[in-house]
Amino acid sequence: MTGKGGVGKSLVSAALAVRSAQRGDRTLWVEMSESPRGGYLFEDFRPQYDLVPVRDQLWAMNLRLQPAIEEYLSVAFKVPFVTRLIARNTLFQILTGALPGLDSLIPLGKIWYELGRRRGRQPYWDRIVLDAPATGHALAMLRFPQAALDMVKSGNVADRSHEIDQILGDESLTSLIAVSTLEELPVDETAELIESVHQETSYRFAAVVCNSVFPEIGQDEQTRFDAWLEGRDDAAIDGRFGAERDIVRKRLQWLESRRQEQQRWLAQLGSVKVPLARAPWIPMAREADVLHALVEEFARP
Amino acid sequence: MIDALVRQQRILIVGGSGGVGKTSISAALGVAAAQAGYNTLVLTIDPARRLAAALGLDGIGPEAVDITPALAEHGLEVPGQLHAMMLDVQNTLDRAVERYAPSPERRDQILANRLYRNISTRLSGSQEYASMQRLHEIATSGAYDRIVLDTPPTTHALDFLTAPERLKAFFDSSLIKVFINFGGRAGRGIFRVSDVLFKALNRLTGANVIRDIGEFFQVAESILEPFSEQAEQAQALLRQPETSFVVVTGPYPHQLDEAGEFQSRLSAMQIRVGALVVNRWLAPLGPEKPELPDAVAASALEDRMAYWASALEGQAHEQTQAIDQLEEETDIPVIRLPELDTDIHSIEGLTELQWRLRADPHR
């Protein structure tokens, strides 16, 4: 899962992972962040590089770049001082400049390892939910395996790129999901990302999750609701709110106007030709509460 | 509050996390300065398309655009002038290379290097370096009375401050020296470490990549010193009395926490913070936080209305409580900007935002 920073990518991916675990699947939720959200989303949980249990059937790890690189190099080279020299230095930044996307290949390699783990005759994980880097980085990450295969014909990077290319390209195994809010910048960025990925790679996005979608309060009584918002009297509504009537009207006018704006951006997002899913706006402040409510929403039939 | 800030400070730097509305606030500050009679420049990076279109910045190069006539067309006559400019990171870095390269050969070598082309705009800190560089150029040219800098949309606001140092550290690294030597003498004459290192790197990436890197750093070394000096001068600009930060934040508790932390880090570095702007604040309409009714799915219209009205009012109270707390903990003025009904994507919207910013309804 990817998305522009600030749209709730971590929240939505965590909600999907929790839901998957609730259904009984052994689930791994992977963050890739220097400032992980997991500690806010789950109580009594501290994100770390090593695998930790979060709750029944759910495990988590924060795949930070630095330890992932060190781990990868130590496996690849078996020479500790070279490993440290490459990993602990700005050198790696230079290498990723020379080979854009290398910094995401290595964490992806770690996921590839987790995918291959077995538990007896069973796969170790039924599902892995990856809270991947934000949109800008995601494009470099998705471009990388094929670009690397064009540039490097043999060696470690080529082998790993080939494996990851297979996984990303297999739609029965992997779903690419973008998360967006229904606002100008996120919608533009999401549409651009999907267009670029579809043009430049053989991978396909499976869905866009629209996050923080405002509620449709009017539903089958939209005309009546609109009329009241515009100032018309309505005995039942006015009776219900009494002295609060004007405050409620002002509040809901704002919400309705925002909702309609969201609907226009939703229509725009429709042009990406990828199935759209919705995650509602949750009127709570604490992230753990928001996650809990969102999981309940996802659990509805 | 904002009026005083615009009067007193020549340079306003608008900082904050991504997605909180920095660009709109920067543009609104620019309008406020032009209203106050100043010849003003807003230097922005990557604005939303419709805002860029509103400012006349779409499809235009890195030159300043005079948008004073456009303001007048939309009914806003200002006594000063308002110019807007889009930061072009590659162009700014290229010009720095041109200026500091010791010879035309060196210059061409750097500009043509494949690694430089790939790496220069993507390196951590290069956007921030370029915007500091541009700000420094504009500030020393004396062409404008007031400059508003919209900072790059980094995920973390503090990145902006450490960027020049990170970039410098990157070039100063002792490993770079190994590369420079390697590029010059094809790896001979240095201790064994580099042999093993380059073998390892070749295995990882292929030989031509290593050659590019060697060449890049060999030629880059020649302009390192002027580059670093320039970065230091630009950094010094941040601490001058004519410069002040405006920290923009969203209204949610975790965003306010982050803004508070950013502000105290700035203050600790002797960098002035003129105001904390809480953007998109949902103002409470009643005196108390209401009880949230039970969630509703298939209930009557009135029930749904009651639920969402209370939910919004509850949010408003929680946000307000968090803002009050921030205000108590800091001695920087906190400006609350209530939610607008729509996004800002026109000059009318900007004008409205500017009035609200100056009015500060809380006081």
What interface predicted TM-score (ipTM) does this complex get? 0.86
Number of domains in chain A: 1
* Chain A partners within 8 Å of B212 (Cβ): 98
- Region B220-247 average pLDDT: 81
Decide if B19 and A91 are in contact by the 8 Å CB cutoff.
Answer: no
Dihedral sign of CA atoms A160, A161, A166, A168 in order: positive
- Region A152-166 average pLDDT: 78
Decide if A254 and B253 are in contact by the 8 Å CB cutoff.
Answer: no
In a domain, A83, yes or no: yes
- Region A266-281 average pLDDT: 94
The pLDDT of residue A37 is above 80? yes
Length of chain A: 301
Question: Given the structure tokens 């996004």, which residue do they identify?
Answer: B343
Please say whether the beta carbons of B146 and B12 come within 8 A.
yes
| pLDDT of B190 | 44
Per the structure, the complete domain to which residue A13 belongs is given by 2-216+273-299
Write the residue in B18, B302, B313 that is nearest to A251 by C-beta.
B313
What's the one-letter identity of residue B173? Answer: S
* Chain B partners within 8 Å of A258 (Cβ): 341
In a domain, A71, yes or no: yes
List the CATH number of the domain containing A11: 3.40.50.300
A242 vs B: CB within 8 A: no
In a domain, A149, yes or no: yes
In a domain, A173, yes or no: yes
Number of domains in chain B: 1
Per the structure, the complete domain to which residue B135 belongs is given by 2-359
Burial A93-122 (b: 16+ CB within 10 A, else e): bbbbbbbbbbbbbbbbbbbeebbeeeeeee
Weakest-pLDDT range from A265-279, B82-96, B172-186: B172-186
In a domain, A287, yes or no: yes
The residue of chain A with its CA nearest to that of B170 is: A90
Question: Given the structure tokens 């162009």, which residue do they identify?
Answer: B91
The pLDDT of residue A228 is above 70? yes
In a domain, A231, yes or no: no
- Separation between Cα atoms, residue B23 and residue B85, nearest integer Å: 12
List the CATH number of the domain containing B22: 3.40.50.300
Please say whether the beta carbons of B286 and B310 come within 8 A.
no
In a domain, A48, yes or no: yes
| pLDDT of B60 | 57
* Chain A partners within 8 Å of B342 (Cβ): 257, 261
The pLDDT of residue B359 is above 80? yes
Decide if A217 and B156 are in contact by the 8 Å CB cutoff.
Answer: no
Dihedral sign of CA atoms B184, B188, B193, B198 in order: positive
Weakest-pLDDT range from B108-122, B265-279, B341-355: B108-122
- Separation between Cα atoms, residue B80 and residue B94, nearest integer Å: 33
Decide if B342 and A257 are in contact by the 8 Å CB cutoff.
Answer: yes
Assign residue B168 a region: left if phi > 0, alpha if psi is -120 to 50, beta otherwise? alpha
Please say whether the beta carbons of B32 and B6 come within 8 A.
yes
Measured CA distances, B138 to A140, B5, B144, B151 (Å): 33, 20, 8, 15
In a domain, A47, yes or no: yes
A295 vs B: CB within 8 A: no
Shortest distance, CA A172 to any CA of chain B (angstroms): 31
Q: 3-class DSSP state for residue B113?
A: coil
